[in-house]
Amino acid sequence: MQQFTGGGASAEQADRHFDQVAQSVPQGQLAQGLGQAFRSDQTPPFAQMAAQLFGNSDPNQRAGMLNQILGSIGPGVLSSLAGGALGGSLGNLFGGGAGATPQQAPQITPEQASQMTPEQVRQIAEQAERHDPSVVDRMDDFYAQHPGLVKGLGGAVLAVALGHMAQGMQRD
The DSSP string of 120-143 is HHHHHHHHHHHH-TTHHHHHHHHH
Q: Is residue 156 part of a domain?
A: yes
Backbone angles phi, psi at 132, to 5 degrees: -150, 90
- The answer to whether residue 68 sits within a structural domain is yes
Does residue 14 form part of some domain? no
pLDDT of residue 82: 45
Asked, for residue 143, whether it belongs to a domain, the answer is yes
Task: Note whether residue 77 is domain-resident.
Answer: no
| pLDDT attached to residue 38 | 94
C-alpha dist (Å) from residue 27 to 31, 69, 168: 6, 20, 13
At residue 58, the pLDDT reads 95
In a domain, 106, yes or no: no
- What's residue 10's pLDDT? 58
In this predicted structure, what is the pLDDT of residue 22? Answer: 86
Domain hosting 165: range is 27-72+114-171
The low-confidence residues of the chain, meaning pLDDT below 50, are: 1-6, 82, 85, 95-103
Confidence at residue 14, expressed as pLDDT on a 0 to 100 scale: 72
Under 8 Å between Cβ of 27 and 150: no
Q: H helices within 40-82, ranges in order?
A: 46-55, 59-70, 75-80
Q: Is 18 part of any domain?
A: no
Cα dihedral 108→140→146→163 (10° resolution): 160
Number of domains present in the structure of the chain:
1
Which pLDDT score is estimated for 63? 95
Q: Find the length of the chain.
A: 172
What pLDDT does 162 receive?
84
Residue 62 lies in a domain: yes
Which conformational region is residue 41 in: left (phi greater than 0), alpha (psi within -120 to 50 degrees), or beta? alpha
Predicted pLDDT of residue 75: 64
Helices 135-144, 27-39: axis angle to 10 degrees equals: 130
